Amino acid sequence: MKKINNVSFIFLGIILLIFTVWSATDTSFSSMKGIEHQETLKKINACENSKTNNSFETYMTISSQFNVDWSGCDLTGVVLRYISLEDANLNNADLSGADLTGANLIGADLRNAKLFGVDLRGADLYQADLENAILDGADLRDTMMEDVNLNNASLKHAYIYKTILAETEFTNVDASYANFCGQDLTKKIFHNTNLSGANLAHTKMQYTYLGKAVLHMTNFEESNLIGSDFSGNSLKGANFQGSNLYSANLQNADLREANLQNADLGGADLGGADLTNAKIFGIDFSTTKISGTDLNVAVHTEIIKNNQKSDIKLLQKYSNVSEKNFSNLDISNIDISESKLQDNDFSNSNLENNKMAHVDFQGSDLSYTELSNTELLGANLSGVDLVGANLSGANLSGANLSGANLSGANLNHSKLYGTDLSGANLEDADLSGANLKGVNFSSAYMMKVVLEDTDLVGVDFNGIHMSGQKLTGIDLTGVNFQNAILKDIDLENADLTNANLDFAYLNSANLKNADLTNANLKNTDLGGADLTNANLKNAVIQNSYFKNAKLDGVVMDETDTDSCFKQDLLNKIICKINFELNPNSPPYETNFEFRDNYSLRS
């Protein structure tokens, strides 16, 4: 009997050993098990439940092999750092603002996916399919993008720094204002690619094909462009200062207002090129073909910029400077990206057109600074004073502005893909025409903010303070106003189809003629609100507060309501009891009652 027990014990040990080895080597199991972010798990669960009858946790429990199909799902802001999503189906998924640092996306299907402001640093996208995907404002630093399909993809304002691009072409790609600084793009094909405003400084582009590429205002400063073909291209305003254009083909190119100072044009062909107002100081044309080119229309004098203080010389790429006074200075048009610039005074200074990606400004004073058209992708501006700053046209994709003071700041037409503005003060700020895809506005103060010509469809305004805001007639389809403070807000004639107003405070709001079709109005405070002629078709109204609300002419077709919406005495009593028993129920009127009646527990 003892022998049998020993054999059984040995047999059981072997089984446990096999299981241990199996579970340790099963990357799909261990990688999925590593997801700890609660909001991420909720979104994955919602996605899985929409496709199957089993939850994500159930799959995790019963199966070690998790075949990821999150196609078409809302995964905005998820945290999937170093998670394995190899061969995952993410077709048409929305991953805007997601953190995919170091993720394994080998062979992943990301066609038509929305990846506004996504963080893909160090991620592996070998043979991933990104056709028609939107990666505007994405951070692709150190990303492995070997043999990736980018046909018709959008990479506007993306940070493509130290990215592996082997066997990857950019045909039909919109990479306007993207940062390729320092990339090796030798013999790459940029056919029909939009590179207007892109930063290609210090790149290697020998014999690169740029047929039909859009190159307005593109920066090629100090790039190696030997043998590259720019024939017939529009290069108006492009910067070629100090670049190597030896044997390059610039026949019939439009080089109006281009900067060619100190460029090497030896053996290059400039025949028929338009050099009107182009800067050509320091160029040796002795071996350049200039047949049909008028050099007299160009600018021959050197343009020299004088800085005001020696301390400015400290501001360079990768610099580490703190506790310096840079106020009231002209520090524009320089590259200080990847720098640590904590606790400095930049107030009232001109920093326009600077490259400042991933700069750490924490503790610095940037009030009333000129920051128009700057690149601040991934910058740390958490808690920074930016009162009255001009950030018009700036690229703040993926930047951390949590708790920053942006009162009265100008963010007109800025790029805020995936930007963290949680807890920021945006009172009186101008966000006209700004791109807000994937922005985190949690608990931000946005009273009197200017939103003219700003696309607000699907924006996440969770927990914002926007009392008294005028949003009449605005398209707010799919907007998330969960936990938002919207007292006295004017939403007359606004389209709130599919909007989430769960736990929102809309006391005394104007919702006349508003379209709330399919809206979520659970736990919503609408006390004293005017919903005259509002459309509540298919809306879900549960545990909400309507005392003194105007409901004349409200459309209630297939609306899901409970006792709190009905006006008869019995339902009013039931609703009152429910509110008394549930402390999280509306109304949410702010007063001192809780403070004054609070009993100490010690």
Q: How many distinct helices (H) and strands (E) make up the chain? A: 6, 2
Three-state SS across 570-591? HHHHHHHHHHHHCCCCCCCCCC
Q: Measure the CA–CA gap between 357 and 189, rounded to whole angstroms.
A: 26
Q: Measure the CA–CA gap between 562 and 572, rounded to whole angstroms.
A: 10
Q: 14: part of which helix (H) or strand (E)?
A: helix 2-25
The pLDDT confidence band at residue 104, using thresholds 50, 70 and 90, is very high
Query: If you average pLDDT over every residue of the chain, what do you get?
Result: 84
**pLDDT at residue 579 greater than cutoff 70:** no
Q: Measure the CA–CA gap between 181 and 348, rounded to whole angstroms.
A: 28
**pLDDT at residue 129 greater than cutoff 80:** yes
The structural domains of the chain, ordered by start, are: 169-304 (2.160.20.80)
> Looking at residue 54, what is its pLDDT?
55
> Looking at residue 98, what is its pLDDT?
86
Nearest to 442 by CA among 487, 492, 491, 400: 400
Amino acid at 13: G
Q: Measure the CA–CA gap between 105 and 85, rounded to whole angstroms.
A: 5
The pLDDT confidence band at residue 186, using thresholds 50, 70 and 90, is confident
Question: pLDDT digits over 495-532, tens only?
Answer: 999 999 988 899 999 999 999 999 999 888 888 999 99
> Looking at residue 575, what is its pLDDT?
73
The pLDDT confidence band at residue 9, using thresholds 50, 70 and 90, is very low
Question: pLDDT digits over 29-75, tens only?
Answer: 334 555 767 888 899 989 988 877 655 554 443 333 468 999 999 99
Q: What is the pTM of this model?
A: 0.64
Question: pLDDT digits over 276-300, tens only?
Answer: 999 998 899 999 999 988 888 887 7
**pLDDT at residue 107 greater than cutoff 60:** yes
DSSP letters for 418-434:
T-B-TT-B-TT-B-TT-
Q: Between 591 and 411, whose confidence is greater? A: 411
**pLDDT at residue 416 greater than cutoff 90:** yes
